[in-house]
Structure 1
């Protein structure tokens, strides 16, 4: 039984969020379209591990020593079927195949669905606020234009395979414990399709698709979160011989902004204002994603106080008509060097505040109500 925790690189007590984050990292690392086809099995292993560990019931079974994906029901750990978990169905299937029973599935259709594709897209915070269409360029399999996806050079229909006569399989002698037997194997002439092209397309060699560069418009919704994954139906790999295309999955990374930080549906920013503005109050302009906005700093503003501007935050993902708020954090700049006239004025001001209650020692941080702005000014002046 595989250790799914080791596959994702997490501890056994990992949280759901840690498992989800590790899966996204590993799926990007080992996706065959990004890392190469040699990692296809590893990619499947990562998906299997996440399927188990993201499901509370399956994870509980796994922690008890039972693999919920084992068709034998965990027979390797003392439970499950007779014969030590040996699949007798496989034995009987091979036995009947040996007598010309075949696989029972018939020839393999040439039209096959395309695989899903995973790509990454980095956007700025403004795009995350309002949403926008973004162009994403990537390499994938597209429909062959030379044969229009049919696989035939002259769009001729395939003919019946002369080797297997349309069955897709041929008989082969194999050695078994019971001696030499006949078994069915995919036909080497038609690769199990039961038919062949007289003139395969020279561009796609009969597959109906070729490697190409694609430019897809991604509709990014307003309010999208960092590390979100968007699904764009039908924009993955083209299927073989006009098979149904796969889907495109896009992992979104929101680039850090120099002016704003996102917290939930709200945007936060920090400004530094002169001491006199905080004491007397002041009206000023600040930037927002909606343009310049007036900010009224109330008189007596305390350091680290916030002012909230409604409906200038993130668009809410589930309700595009609603937005969060813009939270402005105010840092008051207290001067450290004063001229003689400034110091004289501040001493006069401090003298008028002599009746203010002294700051008391406390085991907890002083709140603005207990220790006001003017007390901090006097502390700065010594």
Structure 2
């Protein structure tokens, strides 16, 4: 007579299949020879595995409850009755069974990535682009089924529609059954005897199509715009993946972007710097083919006495904030140009100005040179 399998698993005789399964999981984790090096661990693991094999099978459990020995019926040499499935061991250790049954031919398509070069003005103020995309689309001949018209998938004769082939391997623990994808149907459980000639049974073909992309105002270099459902159609006519468009902003001859701000440099004459002036700069939005949102120029007021390198800020003329209200600023760096070619009259006027300002021999104002970055870090640690 076999051992008391209920006692081995530590469950009552009225235990449900789920309670038996949980008990076996717990003991298998404790007693498996790969995790337990006790001398009797392997033997105890065999015992609880045999107990689980019997109690998890309604017919064998009924024989055992009536006092019979279910392992003696149909026993092969040197094993635990009919053996046990490798999926049960995986189930015990990882808490879930490996996938069973055929897999669907209809699958989601892959995402696609497209890089798009845009002008700075288009990135700042937004634009619309027509895209040409080469992706997989549903085969119009078979409508995604992959089968020639008038035919369809047939049950695989190798795996009989299961999608997997069972393999039995003998070991010290008994007969271990493992399942592998069927080599004939590749796990689908069906084959297509007469595949579509247009798509060769894949249910999709390559094609070029047009898309309209709306670029929101304020995108930056490297921003990715997601177009849901515009990627690759999946095998078997499955749902499409997403299309991601990565924005690459080209350099501009006048303006540069710094976060939400636009920056540029202007050079003015020495007299204009001393007396003050007003400049009309070309607006970045003027680069757009359809500019209906503002003037083509921006007026920048330079105060008298501006110094070379000083920055003049024009509020609200920068980049619209992509996630938020308002816009950044336009920062204009002023460079003062010293005249180099003077005629006699101009030289005389400058001499008279120097006399009036008592600057014939002006004293130089000395100041500390800018320390290097590493020098400032070194001072900070001191």
- TM-score w.r.t. the length of structure 2 is 0.63
Partner residue, 1:12: none
> For residues 260 and 156 of structure 1, what CA distance do their matches in structure 2 show?
63
Contact 2:116-2:245 at 8 Å conserved across structures: yes
Partner residue, 1:191: 186
Partner residue, 2:333: 329
Secondary structure of the residue aligned to 2:117 is strand
**Unpaired runs of 5+ in structure 1?**
1-80, 366-382
> For residues 98 and 348 of structure 1, what CA distance do their matches in structure 2 show?
101
Secondary structure of the residue aligned to 1:308 is strand
> For residues 117 and 193 of structure 1, what CA distance do their matches in structure 2 show?
26
Partner residue, 1:166: 161
Contact 1:103-1:184 at 8 Å conserved across structures: no
1:82 equivalent in alignment to 2:87: no
Contact 2:125-2:216 at 8 Å conserved across structures: yes
> For residues 220 and 226 of structure 1, what CA distance do their matches in structure 2 show?
12
Q: State the structure with more CA Rg.
A: 2
> For residues 258 and 232 of structure 2, what CA distance do their matches in structure 1 show?
36
> For residues 301 and 139 of structure 2, what CA distance do their matches in structure 1 show?
62
* Cα drift, residue 345 of structure 1: 0.4
Secondary structure of the residue aligned to 1:241 is helix
**Unpaired runs of 5+ in structure 2?**
1-33, 38-44, 50-82, 89-96, 286-295, 371-382
Partner residue, 1:380: none
CA shift in 2, pair 1:82/1:214, >3 Å? farther
Partner residue, 2:72: none
Contact 2:84-2:174 at 8 Å conserved across structures: no
Alignment equivalent of 2:254, drawn from 255, 259, 284: 259
> For residues 140 and 103 of structure 1, what CA distance do their matches in structure 2 show?
33
* Cα drift, residue 181 of structure 1: 7.0
Partner residue, 2:345: 341
1:292 equivalent in alignment to 2:245: no
> For residues 239 and 166 of structure 2, what CA distance do their matches in structure 1 show?
32
> For residues 160 and 355 of structure 1, what CA distance do their matches in structure 2 show?
102
Contact 1:98-1:181 at 8 Å conserved across structures: no
Contact 1:228-1:252 at 8 Å conserved across structures: yes
1:113 equivalent in alignment to 2:108: yes
Secondary structure of the residue aligned to 1:322 is coil
> For residues 128 and 207 of structure 1, what CA distance do their matches in structure 2 show?
39
Alignment equivalent of 1:245, drawn from 220, 240, 265: 240
Partner residue, 2:66: none
> For residues 172 and 194 of structure 2, what CA distance do their matches in structure 1 show?
43
- TM-score w.r.t. the length of structure 1 is 0.63
